[in-house]
Structure 1
Amino acid sequence: MSRLGFAIAAFVACAPVSASPLPHIEAEQLASVSAPFAVTREHVTDDIYHYQFDLRVGSTPNARVRIHRVVRELSPWQPRPTPHAVMLLHGDFANFVTNFVPSLGAPASSAPGLAPYLVSRGIDTWGVDRRWTLPTADGDISDLGGMGVDQALEDTAVALAFARATRTLTDRDPGRIVLGGFSHGAQLTYAYAAADGRHVSAIAALDIYYDISPEDADLRDFACANAAAERDALAQGVTDSSNSLFITAGLLARSSPDERSPVFPSYTNRGVLLTLAGLTYWLAPYTPVYHLSAPLLDAHGDVTGLRESSENRVSAWFASAPPHQSMREAADFDDIWCGTSPRPALANIRVPLFYLGAAGGFGDRGLYSTTRVSSTDVTTLVVHRFGPERVAEDFGHGDLLYAEDAPVLAWEPFAKWLLHH
């Protein structure tokens, strides 16, 4: 194990007994972690490296907290110290790598990645994968039914405590860090800050709503119907909300784009990819014309191409999806949107908040949630190319991560905000 690994393992081993190395950090989140643990390191670009830590936290097949760190190095296994840090939570059909360091995904993406961008600007970037990302396609998913929002919040607390402990050793900085998330990772960010908020100095929500505006009763009704269907599925023993559609669409669009789709025979494989990305509201009307990627539309409303993110990047995003996803988590998230969840209100949040929306994603509808917090420091930005009359073609949800112009339109203002918080 590296000297960094030895140092962290030593802290984790002693944390249940004494918090003396970290007087301002609660150690109880780390008390269930078994040491030693697995550590890997891989090159990203230039002097930027990606570390992955797998912490065993129980006896069930997937009782691990997988934590990521992307950081500049002074030398092998020695991070370059910085006073700025953020932890990013991934969205659906993704993990930290495929959302934020997609060049390391399988298949690899040509997208440079938000995490390396932030690191290159002096921001130590962390992440944590939810447990449903861990099993392989034929892996043991007997514990999938327990992977709801409560477990994700507990794992987030462990990851934040671990990140702060590590930064105390490597950066001499025990301070709180920013918690941010994309899509449902942003919904989880809101939930964590409202319920607990330990270790967190500020939060950032990338394209999501948490509370739905009274004016959008139809969106709330949709969430309530989804929650009821998901709870019914759970009652029947269905715990896996499979990502096979995205995986199949991505792989076939890359390998045989012009052949007829075996899933939707009236489309080519490329056509399925373009439709899922550009007309996503057909399956998931989170907003009236919600889409993952800004589409180029013909006179009939069919998608002929993608405006912001290349097909290579979008197909890699889809194809690299984890095979499994938690039905319980989906139900928990929809309960929040429905308004039937007993979770603490956004009014509990008092730390600074940054909301970054995509006009063709959750966009302006995510602004209502920012008015529900008690924070006095709230910054909002909705990325758009066009006026409201062309929202169906505008910057999409996933374009925040994969568009050619994402670094200028989305990442730069996010980085500037992080450097001031």
Structure 2
Amino acid sequence: MPRLGFMLVVLAATTSVAASPPPLVEAEQVASMGSPFAVVREHVTADIYHYQFDIRVGSTPNARVRIHRVVRELAPWRPRPTAHAVMLLHGDFANFVTNFVPTLGHPASSVSGLAPYLVARGIDTWGVDRRWTLPGADGDISDLGEMGVAQELGDISVALAFARATRGVTDGDAGRIVLGGFSHGAQLTYAYAAADGRHVSAIAALDVYYDIAPEDADLRALACANAAAGRDALAEGVTDSSNSLFITAGELARSSPDAPSPLFPSYTNRGVLLTLAGLTWWLAPYTPLYHLSAPLLDAEGNVSELRESSEDDVSAWFASAPPHQSMRETAELDEIWCGTSPRPSLANIRVPLFYLGAAGGFGDRGLYSTTRVSSSDVTTLVVRRFGPERVAEDFGHGDLLYAADAPTLAWKPLATWLLRH
């Protein structure tokens, strides 16, 4: 691949002791650049820096693979070599930064972030954004309809190859690395490992299922109905599964929390945030009581506050969402759950697997998928506060990334496992 060779020459130059780094660009300038390669470098904390690489892979408006690296530096542009590496795939209404380095988001979150946590413990942390995260609110989305699972698996392969080759230059280690993901990013992690997996030494799935257990026929029926609705929308020319609900809810909860909501007039803006976060199953019952953030429920079953993640951090997560999301991806991921389209079999996975669930998210229902792989090295952990009778209030899906106790309950076990794999 000529372009990849060119990119590695550029990258080698940027990490050479004697070389000068390439000109830095602002993140919002990258989208308009005609160059096949662009780099953004920004400080995270202490000696930890975030690099963003934009690699053009085609002629359509958003044909770019955006790769991230969070790493400790010995000096500017000189990463500290490590023996361990992971690539993390983000979830819905998010990108790598807003899920894993949220202090760099817009608006910024106070949560330190999973990526810097792992980096501080000797784990070189990479990521790749799905292409629907790239266009702004008024950006060109004429290629949004092409953004499906096959394209995403191809981009993941490019990103993993880039990470391995780069680590060969900067760390002297071009070996396979761990692929991990959160939510639908974890579903893609399973799919990549099952379909290809050539660059992967192990996988870590954070709170999702890939195969739905036979006893959960109702969840499969929901996925089938959602897949059919998505296909109908595509047939009518709808390619954008907009994130405007989350963005507006987050922004209004931050700017005027006590004002009546224009989204749901019977609620305040704060009430909408709390309901979307704590009673998510009203709109997205991936499990019967699925929620993004653990709620404190009053006598009427309404959310009075959030137990684990702060309202400020949850509203920042929502408000920083990319404006667009691919309807094709949404339909195809639902089809994987439904089982109506050809899909890579989990039986193809023979590398070690770590499943980290949240009791109030996909939780225990994500365990069935771990029994479907061929690997003999499977570790599972479901973070929970309460027994099954209080699952409605238990640790939520997004609490794995944003809760005050996430570093102790979720990130530490993941880091421990990564350092062993």
Shift of 1:248: 0.1
Task: Give 2:410's aligned residue.
Answer: 410
Q: Which residue identity is paired with 1:84?
A: H
Q: Which residue identity is paired with 2:334?
A: D
Task: Give 1:261's aligned residue.
Answer: 261
Equivalent residue of 1:351, what SS?
coil
Q: Does 1:191 align with 2:230?
A: no
Task: Give 1:208's aligned residue.
Answer: 208
Task: Give 2:305's aligned residue.
Answer: 305
Q: Distance in 1 between matches of 2:11 and 2:39?
A: 15
Task: Give 2:341's aligned residue.
Answer: 341
Q: Distance in 2 between matches of 1:297 and 1:36?
A: 51
Q: Which residue identity is paired with 2:389?
A: E
Q: Distance in 2 between matches of 1:289 and 1:315?
A: 21
Equivalent residue of 2:61, what SS?
coil
Shift of 1:36: 5.0
Q: Which residue identity is paired with 1:338?
A: C
| TM-score in terms of structure 1 length | 0.93
**Which residues of 2 match residues 20-419 of structure 1 at below 5 A?**
37-419=37-419
Aligned length: 397
**Contact 1:9 1:36 survives alignment (8 Å):** no
Deviations 1:197-245, CA, capped at 9 Å, x for gaps = 0110000000000000000000000000000000000000000000000
**Contact 2:12 2:169 survives alignment (8 Å):** no
Deviations 1:294-314, CA, capped at 9 Å, x for gaps = 000000000000000000110
Q: Distance in 2 between matches of 1:137 and 1:10?
A: 31
Q: Distance in 2 between matches of 1:65 and 1:174?
A: 20
Q: Distance in 2 between matches of 1:259 and 1:228?
A: 37
Shift of 1:344: 1.7
Equivalent residue of 1:42, what SS?
strand
Equivalent residue of 2:376, what SS?
coil
Shift of 1:315: 0.2
Q: Which residue identity is paired with 2:357?
A: G
Task: Give 2:23's aligned residue.
Answer: none
Q: Distance in 2 between matches of 1:8 and 1:348?
A: 31
Shift of 1:35: 6.8
Q: Distance in 2 between matches of 1:7 and 1:309?
A: 40
Q: Which residue identity is paired with 2:405?
A: D
Q: Distance in 1 between matches of 2:171 and 2:302?
A: 52
Q: Which residue identity is paired with 1:166?
A: T
Q: Distance in 2 between matches of 1:362 and 1:95?
A: 20
Q: Distance in 2 between matches of 1:6 and 1:103?
A: 32
> Residue 43 and residue 325 in structure 1: after superposition, are their counterparts in 2 closer, same or farther (change >3 A)?
same
**Contact 1:103 1:109 survives alignment (8 Å):** yes
Deviations 1:13-65, CA, capped at 9 Å, x for gaps = 9xxxxxxxxxxxxxxxxxxxx97510010000000000000000000000000
**Contact 2:182 2:207 survives alignment (8 Å):** yes
Shift of 1:12: 9.7
Q: Distance in 2 between matches of 1:265 and 1:273?
A: 13
**Contact 1:61 1:142 survives alignment (8 Å):** yes
Q: Which residue identity is paired with 2:264?
A: F
Q: Distance in 1 between matches of 2:331 and 2:270?
A: 31
Task: Give 2:20's aligned residue.
Answer: none
Equivalent residue of 2:252, what SS?
helix
**Contact 1:93 1:321 survives alignment (8 Å):** yes
Deviations 1:45-92, CA, capped at 9 Å, x for gaps = 000000000000000000000000000000000000001000000000
Further displaced range: 36-45 or 123-132: 36-45
Deviations 1:297-337, CA, capped at 9 Å, x for gaps = 00000000000000011000000000000000000100000
Deviations 1:66-119, CA, capped at 9 Å, x for gaps = 000000000000000001000000000000000000000000000110000000
Q: Distance in 2 between matches of 1:171 and 1:341?
A: 41
Q: Which residue identity is paired with 2:219?
A: L
Q: Which residue identity is paired with 1:228?
A: A
Shift of 1:340: 1.1
> Residue 10 and residue 257 in structure 1: after superposition, are their counterparts in 2 closer, same or farther (change >3 A)?
closer
Percent identical across equivalent pairs?
85
> Residue 338 and residue 36 in structure 1: after superposition, are their counterparts in 2 closer, same or farther (change >3 A)?
closer
> Residue 289 and residue 117 in structure 1: after superposition, are their counterparts in 2 closer, same or farther (change >3 A)?
same
Equivalent residue of 1:197, what SS?
coil
Q: Distance in 1 between matches of 2:9 and 2:125?
A: 20
Q: Distance in 2 between matches of 1:274 and 1:220?
A: 27
Structure 1 stretches of at least 4 aligned residues deviating more than 3 Å after TM superposition: 9-13
Q: Distance in 1 between matches of 2:9 and 2:248?
A: 39
Equivalent residue of 1:375, what SS?
coil
Q: Distance in 1 between matches of 2:367 and 2:200?
A: 21
Alignment gaps of 5+ in structure 2 = 14-33
> Residue 117 and residue 263 in structure 1: after superposition, are their counterparts in 2 closer, same or farther (change >3 A)?
same
Q: Which residue identity is paired with 1:58?
A: G
Q: Which residue identity is paired with 1:320?
A: S
Q: Distance in 1 between matches of 2:340 and 2:75?
A: 51
| TM-score in terms of structure 2 length | 0.93
Q: Distance in 2 between matches of 1:104 and 1:293?
A: 21
**Contact 2:36 2:54 survives alignment (8 Å):** no
Shift of 1:343: 1.3
Shift of 1:149: 0.4
> Residue 6 and residue 237 in structure 1: after superposition, are their counterparts in 2 closer, same or farther (change >3 A)?
closer
Equivalent residue of 1:40, what SS?
strand
RMSD of aligned Cα (Å): 1.4
**Contact 2:36 2:56 survives alignment (8 Å):** no
> Residue 169 and residue 265 in structure 1: after superposition, are their counterparts in 2 closer, same or farther (change >3 A)?
same
Q: Distance in 2 between matches of 1:119 and 1:165?
A: 19
Q: Distance in 1 between matches of 2:405 and 2:6?
A: 41
Shift of 1:413: 0.3
Q: Distance in 2 between matches of 1:376 and 1:59?
A: 43
**Contact 1:12 1:35 survives alignment (8 Å):** no
